[in-house]
């Protein structure tokens, strides 16, 4: 074999080897692409593509089967991979939108219910066809009109009262009482209007934040209802102040005369007081001591403060808190809730008030 024939033989051998390697590489690339497309199709199907995007799904599924059967080239597999990725992303987007829609529908229902409760408390009739922002705007307009109507009524009564006083000069206790009541009602309406504006503003800015506020309010009201069931009228009264604070007006804790030591047998009542406080996690706590007006004021102030401190220590032990975290105040005889001229009145004035602040 001469040199020329040798070179031709070597070239043919190299071509055969390279051809086999290219074929193997192409087959391996096709297998990898097929697996990647299959994974994307499975993900798209789990996200609901078969039901939400049926035409695209069936077209891509048939093309995938054909590519596997015929051994498609790299260009075909690249196109299938691109289309499968797009299908998976479209299905994910549709699934996310469906979940968001469900959450928004539930939130809108709770928002409308809150506005309906405000309208009922204010004596305002709402348009049943309205919802969401349009409902809140309609409620705000009607509340403003109701406030104006009552303000005109108050002014009219004030003028009538002045004229009647000028004419007869007699006692106008009834009219004054009515005017005072209307002033209170107008103030309450203003408060309701302010709360409504706040709720509407919060809802329009971030309805999820409004849902948290309403949920916290409901939890607070549920806790108050539970506390009312835990005490008899002789043991404690449960009061709610204008700012939402809860006052446990305790008459059942007994002290010896002139002493800050709790009498024996009070453990159960103290434990129930601690349990009531525990229903308001995160709330501030202040224990107030009160006395009747028997004896000197200075002595009663000191005694009421010491009694408040004693109860605060007992509550801290039951709650597992640092006593320093519970504030105490002694008011002595300065804040009576009944007349000190009777035995019953003095007994009511000798009390401990446990004030649980509103959680913000």
What pLDDT does residue 197 have? 75
**What is the torsional sign of CA 109, 110, 115, 120?**
positive
What pLDDT does residue 17 have? 36
What pLDDT does residue 3 have? 52
* Domain total in the chain: 3
pLDDT band, very low/low/confident/very high, at 12 (cuts 50, 70, 90): very low
User: Is 213 a member of any domain?
Assistant: no
What pLDDT does residue 300 have? 94
User: Is 110 a member of any domain?
Assistant: no
Instruction: Check whether residue 194 and residue 227 sit in a common domain.
Output: no
What pLDDT does residue 14 have? 37
For residue 21, pLDDT over 60 is answered with no
Greater pLDDT, 84 or 209 = 84
What pLDDT does residue 66 have? 93
CATH number, residue 347? 3.30.1330.60
User: Is 248 a member of any domain?
Assistant: yes
- Domain limit, last residue, from 205, 228, 263: 205
Lowest mean pLDDT among 135-144, 210-219, 274-283, 328-337: 210-219
Greater pLDDT, 212 or 66 = 66
Instruction: Check whether residue 287 and residue 347 sit in a common domain.
Output: yes
For residue 13, pLDDT over 70 is answered with no
For the chain, percent of residues with pLDDT exceeding 70 = 81
Instruction: Check whether residue 77 and residue 153 sit in a common domain.
Output: no
Lowest mean pLDDT among 38-42, 137-141, 222-226, 236-240: 137-141
Residue 136: domain span? 123-205
Instruction: Check whether residue 349 and residue 227 sit in a common domain.
Output: yes
Instruction: Check whether residue 199 and residue 144 sit in a common domain.
Output: yes
Instruction: Check whether residue 32 and residue 137 sit in a common domain.
Output: no
What pLDDT does residue 196 have? 80
Instruction: Check whether residue 228 and residue 139 sit in a common domain.
Output: no
For residue 24, pLDDT over 70 is answered with no
Instruction: Check whether residue 232 and residue 294 sit in a common domain.
Output: yes
Phi and psi dihedrals of 141, rounded to 5? -60, -45
Lowest mean pLDDT among 99-108, 132-141, 146-155, 311-320: 99-108
Lowest mean pLDDT among 93-97, 218-222, 289-293, 350-354: 218-222
Mean pLDDT of 329-356: 94
For residue 167, pLDDT over 50 is answered with yes
pLDDT band, very low/low/confident/very high, at 134 (cuts 50, 70, 90): confident
Instruction: Check whether residue 84 and residue 195 sit in a common domain.
Output: no
Q: What is the pLDDT of residues 93-131, one digit of tens each?
A: 999 998 888 776 776 678 778 878 888 888 878 777 788
For residue 170, pLDDT over 60 is answered with no
For residue 37, pLDDT over 80 is answered with yes
Q: What is the pLDDT of residues 270-302, one digit of tens each?
A: 999 999 999 999 889 999 999 999 999 999 999
* Measured distance CA(275)–CA(250) in Å, rounded: 14
What pLDDT does residue 244 have? 86
Instruction: Check whether residue 352 and residue 237 sit in a common domain.
Output: yes
Q: What is the pLDDT of residues 171-181, one digit of tens each?
A: 555 666 776 77
User: Is 133 a member of any domain?
Assistant: yes
For residue 16, pLDDT over 60 is answered with no
Query: Mean pLDDT score of the chain, rounded to an integer?
Result: 82
What pLDDT does residue 165 have? 62
pLDDT band, very low/low/confident/very high, at 92 (cuts 50, 70, 90): very high
* Measured distance CA(115)–CA(103) in Å, rounded: 19
Instruction: Check whether residue 242 and residue 200 sit in a common domain.
Output: no
User: Is 240 a member of any domain?
Assistant: yes
User: Is 106 a member of any domain?
Assistant: no
Instruction: Check whether residue 280 and residue 342 sit in a common domain.
Output: yes
* Measured distance CA(170)–CA(155) in Å, rounded: 20
- Domain limit, last residue, from 154, 170, 205: 205
- Domain limit, last residue, from 205, 230, 264: 205
For residue 1, pLDDT over 80 is answered with no
User: Is 113 a member of any domain?
Assistant: no
User: Is 305 a member of any domain?
Assistant: yes
């Amino acid at each position: 074999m001469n040199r020329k024939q040798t070179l031709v033989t070597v070239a043919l051998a190299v071509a055969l080897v390279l051809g086999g390697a290219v074929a193997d590489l192409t087959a391996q690339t096709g297998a990898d692409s097929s697996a990647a497309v299959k994974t994307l199709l499975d993900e798209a199907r789990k996200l609901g593509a078969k039901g939400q995007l049926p035409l695209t799904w069936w077209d891509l599924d048939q093309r995938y089967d054909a590519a596997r059967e015929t051994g498609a080239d790299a260009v075909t597999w690249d196109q299938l991979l691109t289309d499968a990725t797009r299908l998976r992303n479209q299905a994910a987007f549709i699934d996310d939108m469906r979940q968001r829609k469900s959450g928004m529908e539930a939130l809108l229902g709770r928002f409308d219910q809150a506005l309906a409760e405000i309208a009922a408390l204010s004596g305002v009739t709402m348009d049943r066809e309205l919802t969401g922002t349009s409902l809140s705007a309609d409620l705000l307009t009607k509340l403003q009109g109701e406030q104006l109507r009552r303000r005109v009524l108050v002014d009219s009564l004030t003028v009538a009262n002045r004229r009647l006083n000028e004419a007869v000069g007699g006692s106008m206790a009834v009219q004054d009482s009515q005017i005072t009541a209307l002033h209170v009602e107008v103030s309450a309406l203003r408060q309701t209007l302010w709360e409504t504006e706040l709720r509407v503003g919060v809802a329009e800015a971030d309805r999820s934040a409004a849902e948290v506020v309403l949920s916290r309010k409901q939890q607070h009201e549920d806790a108050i209802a539970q506390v009312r069931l835990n005490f008899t009228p002789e043991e404690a009264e449960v009061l709610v102040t204008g700012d939402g604070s809860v006052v446990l007006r305790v008459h059942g804790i007994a002290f010896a005369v002139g002493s800050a030591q709790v009498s024996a047998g009070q453990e159960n009542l103290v434990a129930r007081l601690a349990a009531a406080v525990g229903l308001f996690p995160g709330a501030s706590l202040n224990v107030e001591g009160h006395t009747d007006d028997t004896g000197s004021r200075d002595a009663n102030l000191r005694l009421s403060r010491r009694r408040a401190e004693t109860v605060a220590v007992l509550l801290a032990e039951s709650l597992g808190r640092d006593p320093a975290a519970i504030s105490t105040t002694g008011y002595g005889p300065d804040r009576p809730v009944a007349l000190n001229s009777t035995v019953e009145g003095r007994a009511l004035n000798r009390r401990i008030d446990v004030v649980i602040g509103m959680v913000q």
